[in-house]
Amino acid sequence: MGSLEGILTGFQVAFSVEGVLFVLIGVFVGTFIGMLPGLGPISAIAVMIPVTFGMDPTPALVMMAGVYYGAVFGGSTSSILLNAPGISGTVATSFDGYPMAQQGKAGKALAIAAISSFIGGTISVLLLMMLAPMLSSVAISFGPPAYFALMFLGLTAITSLSEGSTSKALISAVVGFMVVTIGIDAQTGTQRFTFGNANLLEGIDFLVIALGLFALAEVCTLIIKRKDLSLDNTHKLGSLKITKQEAKEMSGPVTRQSFMGFVLGVLPGAGATIASFIGYITEKRIAKKPDEFGKGSVRGLAAPEAANNAATSGAFVPLLSLGIPGSGTTAVLLGAFLVLGVQPGPLLMTDRPEIFWGIIASMYIGNVFLLILNLPLIPYISKILKIPRPLLISLVIMFSIIGVYAISFSTFDLYMLLLFGVVGFLMRLFSFPAPPFILAFILGGMMEQSFRQSLTISNGNYMIFVKEPISLTLLLIGLLSFAFPIIGHLRKRKG
C-alpha cells in the first residue's frame, strides 16, 4: 500500500463518526488532566487504559493518542496561572508565561500558549504525515556520542538562562548536576548518594524538583509579599486579544520551534521537555532583545509551547515506526497498544495502515478540537486567579502534593517536594536562579550516561566524539556559542 493510499485510509478513519467522537473524548480528558498541576500525560494515559478494554483498537488508540497530546496542550495552563508546571514539558512555559500573568495579562498569555501549541501541533502533524516513512531512519541516527553533543549544546545556554550573576547561575547548575546523580548509576549498578535509602535508588523525579523549585517556592514568596499591593494585577484577566505586533513577534519563534521541536521529539529520549528548553534557549539567543526574556516575553512563551507540542507528535515516529518508546510517557502508551493487541514497529504501517495513518490523521482534528476547547475556556479557567489568595495558595500546595503523590504513591517524595520547596525559596532569597538548576538536571543525567556509553564503546578513546559528523557539528556549534559572547565582550573592551 502506497503512502498516499494509506493517508486516505487514515482520513477515512479519522473523519468517521467514531473517529471524531473518540478524538474528542481523548483530547478533552487529556487537556483537562494536563491542566491540573502535577498531573500529566502519564497519569492521563494510565487512567484511560482500563476504558479501552474490549474496544476496537483503532478508535481506542486514536483516543489514547488524543489523551497524550491533549495533556501536553493543557499542561501550560497551570504553568502560566500558578507557576506550577502541569507536566515536565511546560516548565519552560512558566519562565515567561507566569510573569505575563502577573502583569495582568493572564488571558493573553493563555491565548498565546494555546495558539502556539496549536500551530506547533499542526505543523508537526503535517511533517509527520509527509515524512513518516523516512523518519524512522532519523530516529535511529543518533548514537551515544551524538546525544552527548546535543546535551552539551543545550548546556552551553546555562548562563543565558538567567539574569544577574553568572557565578550564581553556574553554582545553581552544578547543584542540579549533583542532584541528578542521586540513585543507582545505570552504567555500573552502583548506588550514588542514596545513603542506604531505598526511596532514593531510582533518583529524584523531575516533577518533584520542578514543583518544589517553582510552585512551592512561589507560594512562599506570595505569603511573604502578602501586603504588597503591586501584585494586585494578578487578579486581572486582561484582554485575550493578541495585537498585530504580538502576532508578528510570535510568528518567527513558533515556526522555527515547531520544526526544531518536531526533530527533537523524533529522537528517542529527547522529547517534549528537552525540546521546550532548547526552544526557549535558542529563541533567547537569537532574539534582538534577549533582556525581555523571563519578564513576560511573547517570544519566550510562544517558543516552548510550539516546541513541546511539536515534539509530542514527533515522539510518535519512533513509537509507531520502530516500536521504540522514547520516554516514560510513550512507554505507557506502548503498553496501551499492546493491551489492544497492536504491536507498533516497522510493519505497522503496512500491516495496519488504518491504525498507523488513522492516528496521524486524527491529530489534525485533535489539534483543532484542542484550540476550540481551550480558547473559549480561558475566561473561566483564569477565574482561578480571582480566588482569594489564601485559598489559592492552599490549592496550589494541595495540587502539588497530589501530583507528586500520583507519580510514586510514596510519602517520601512528599518530603522531597517540601525540601525542594524550601531550597527553591532560599535560592530566591539569595537570588540564585532556578532555571539553570532545572536545565542541568534535565540534560545532565542523559549527558553523563551517553558520555560514558560512548567511552565504553570506544574503549576509552575520546576520538569517538569527533569521528561522526552529527556529534562533531553539534559540538562545534556548542563551542561557538560559548566563544561568541566572550569574543564580543573582549571587542567591547578594546573599543
Partner 1 sequence: MKKYLLMLLFVFLTVLAVACSNDETSNGDANGDWEPEQPIEIVAPAGAGGGWDTTARMAAKVFSEEGIIEEDIGVVNKPGGGGAVGWAYIAGHEGSAHNLFVASPPLILVPLNGQSEYGYDDFTPLANMIADYGAFAVREDAPWNDLNELFEDMKEDPESISVVGTSSPGSMDHIQFVQIAKAAGVDVTKIKYVTDPEGVGLTQLLNGSVEVFSTGVSETIEQVKAGTIKVLGVTAEERLEGEVLEEFPTAIEQGIDATFVNWRGFFGPPNMDEAAVKYYEAKFKELSDSEEFADIRSQYGWNEMYMDSEEYKSFLDEQNEEVQSLLDELGLGE
Tell me how far apart the alpha carbons of residues 70 and 271 are, in angstroms, rounded to a whole number: 16
Asked whether position 346 contacts partner 1 by CB under 8 A, the answer is yes
For residue 319, which of 113, 58, 54, 128 has the smallest C-alpha distance?
A: 128
The count of residues interacting with partner 1 (CB under 8 A) is 61
In whole angstroms, the minimum distance from the beta carbon of 186 to partner 1 comes to 4
> Which one of residues 128, 211, 363, 446 is an interface residue with partner 1 (CB under 8 A)?
446
Asked whether position 324 contacts partner 1 by CB under 8 A, the answer is yes
Stretch that binds partner 1, among 8-16, 98-106, 184-192, 288-296 (CB under 8 A): 184-192
CB of 429 or CB of 457, closer to partner 1 = 457
In whole angstroms, the minimum distance from the beta carbon of 303 to partner 1 comes to 25
Asked whether position 166 contacts partner 1 by CB under 8 A, the answer is no
Q: Which residues pair with 184 in a beta bridge?
A: 191
> Which one of residues 1, 141, 163, 473 is an interface residue with partner 1 (CB under 8 A)?
141
Tell me how far apart the alpha carbons of residues 367 and 353 are, in angstroms, rounded to a whole number: 21
List phi, psi (to 5°) of 183: 120, -170
Asked whether position 380 contacts partner 1 by CB under 8 A, the answer is yes
CB of 365 or CB of 406, closer to partner 1 = 406
Grid cell 480561558 in the structure block, residue: 378
> Which one of residues 70, 154, 265, 268 is an interface residue with partner 1 (CB under 8 A)?
268
In whole angstroms, the minimum distance from the beta carbon of 205 to partner 1 comes to 10
Asked whether position 414 contacts partner 1 by CB under 8 A, the answer is no
Contact between residue 362 and residue 13 where contact means Cβ atoms under 8 Å apart:
yes
Tell me how far apart the alpha carbons of residues 382 and 376 are, in angstroms, rounded to a whole number: 11
CB of 460 or CB of 495, closer to partner 1 = 460
> Which one of residues 167, 243, 343, 473 is an interface residue with partner 1 (CB under 8 A)?
343
Asked whether position 332 contacts partner 1 by CB under 8 A, the answer is yes
Query: Residues 79, 80, 86, CA angle at the centre, nearest 5°?
Result: 20
CB of 336 or CB of 378, closer to partner 1 = 336
Grid cell 561557538 in the structure block, residue: 480
Write the interaction track for partner 1 spanning residues 449-468; mark x where CB under 8 A is met and - where it is not: x---x--xx-x---------
Asked whether position 388 contacts partner 1 by CB under 8 A, the answer is no
Stretch that binds partner 1, among 92-100, 137-145, 358-366, 473-481 (CB under 8 A): 137-145
Helices 106-139, 298-314: crossing angle, 10 deg rounding = 40
In whole angstroms, the minimum distance from the beta carbon of 307 to partner 1 comes to 19
Asked whether position 327 contacts partner 1 by CB under 8 A, the answer is yes
In whole angstroms, the minimum distance from the beta carbon of 363 to partner 1 comes to 22
Task: Report the interface residues with partner 1, using CB under 8 A.
Answer: 42, 46, 49, 139-144, 184-189, 191, 198-202, 268-269, 318, 322-328, 331-332, 334-336, 338-339, 341, 343-347, 380, 383-384, 387, 395, 398, 402, 405, 408-410, 446, 449, 453, 456-457, 459
